[in-house]
Amino acid sequence: MGSSSQDSSPAPTKEKRERSKHPFRENIEVVVFAIVMAMGLKIFAVEAYQIPTGSMQPTLMGTNLVDPKTGQPSGGLHDRVLVDKISYWFRDPERWEVTVFRYPLLTHNNYVKRLVGLPGEQLWIQFGDLFARPLGSQDEFVILRKPWKVQEHLWKSVLPRIGDDATQWHGWRRNGALDARANGDLQFEGGASATVEYDVKVRDDYKDGYPEAVWYRLPTSGGATQRNIQSDLRWQFTLEGSAQSGSPFLATFEAGPFPLELRIAADGQLRLELPDGQEFTAEVDLSQGAMEFDLAFWDHQVRLYLNGEELLFRKLDLKPKRATRNRTTFRSEGKWLLSPITLARDIYYIEPRNSGTPLFDIPEGHYFMMGDNTQNSLDSRDWTMEVLTFDPPLADGSSVIRGDQMDHGVDPVFDNPRWSRDRTMMTFRDEFGELRTFTTDQLKGIGDIEQPAPFVPREYILGRALAVFLPVPPFAPVARIGLVR
């Protein structure tokens, strides 16, 4: 029996005996394979980046925070972003994508911006919007329209203001036969004219769109002084009426120079007059109770949703105009119930801050990038190259050196070129990151010019931002997890 039992156990094979002699080699092989795979993914597939600055806020956060009571530094909020590095192997980058690229004037630094201008077009920044036409043509400029899947993530909340009680209708004027409910609803009593109006000019306030937990802890705007009046706005409100409402309900939305007027009759007839003079009509069922309206005007297009369903989406043929005011008015002599309104605004694209022309001729193979935080973003609008020419050439044979021109910046540590206190020596960081030092004698007779350098070559674009996966509380005041649009 004992002999039979022993014979039934298979003898270890030569392969198993050899493997058992080298247990550490197996582990090392696994670790090396894992490292190689991770490096391969990082180089060729996906990579995580930390957002260091606020140029893309609030889409991507990269800001230091302060204690709201003392104003002293108190932590920071820096998104970690997952970047897709594969897609651009098979296709070219597309407009409105958030891209990661090598900064052309300091190529060892990676930047994150939104791609807004394509190769072979002339880009025009005007009145807060972007326009384009084929390069070299005399065609009319056409407004560049952000699709809704992008736009819905770019709206910046305006009303109610941070810290305001929405039920109190702060900033609104109320006149006539109105009854204010405890929850903030306004009952139009009927039989007499009643008006609710907001005529405070909505501007591109630097702090619009930030979560409340962050808003109170933001540092000063860092030089963001633009206060442009908005024309691209979104209104959301709830309205309730019935066949006994009597007179129609009228709402006027002045989107800068582009007014929209909504009229809803007691019999359910809805009419929306558009900024180009056209009218849209529909039937609504007042017997169903409260109606949730979502009306948006952006990039010369209108979108109207009612109770979550699209009633209207239309692109309008409008001429560019500067906004001088915006106003929202509700009025009726009938019985209607109106909820507190929420108001949001779009990005206002600001022209170059260096007084340069807002026209850009984008050559083939190059792209134009802008930050969503256009008030405080160093991007294609203002990138400037400094070019030093040496005759005779330097000892290493260089006759031309190019680099990022950042003289008289906010922080002199990052000025380029940068001078010693006694102005006897200059350091200059070239486009490849090499720090060069020159004495005043070496700089005698050199050529020194500054020229715009607004474009990113195709080969410098590394990937597109996919998602924010960090930070999360308690390491940050808010959770920052979601897709990047």
Per-residue pLDDT of 360-372, as tens digits, reads 999 999 999 999 9
Among 2.40.160.40, 3.30.30.60, 2.60.120.200, 3.40.640.10, what is the CATH number of 155-345? 2.60.120.200
Q: What is the arithmetic mean of pLDDT over 212-226?
A: 76
Q: What's residue 110's pLDDT? A: 93
Calpha distance 80→448 (Å, rounded)? 39
Higher pLDDT pick, 220 / 302? 302
Domain 50-150+350-379+457-483 CATH class label: mainly beta
Per-residue pLDDT of 96-125, as tens digits, reads 999 999 999 999 999 999 999 999 999 999
Local structure of 200: helix, strand or coil: coil
Its pTM surpasses 0.85 = yes
Instruction: Inform me whether the pLDDT recorded for 290 exceeds 50.
Output: yes
Number of other residues whose CB lies within 10 A of the CB of residue 367: 24
Per-residue pLDDT of 452-474, as tens digits, reads 999 999 999 999 999 998 888 88
Per-residue pLDDT of 249-264, as tens digits, reads 999 999 999 999 999 9
Closest Cα partner for 465 from 485, 438, 446, 451? 485
The domain locations on the chain are 50-150+350-379+457-483, 155-345, 384-453
Instruction: Inform me whether the pLDDT recorded for 376 exceeds 90.
Output: no
CB 116 within 8 A of CB 366: no
Local structure of 480: helix, strand or coil: coil
Per-residue pLDDT of 56-94, as tens digits, reads 999 999 988 998 888 888 888 999 999 999 999 999 999
CB 52 within 8 A of CB 438: no
Calpha distance 452→405 (Å, rounded)? 10
Q: What is the arithmetic mean of pLDDT over 43-61?
A: 81
CB 350 within 8 A of CB 437: no
Instruction: Inform me whether the pLDDT recorded for 354 exceeds 90.
Output: no
Higher pLDDT pick, 449 / 114? 114
Domains 50-150+350-379+457-483 and 155-345 share a fold: no
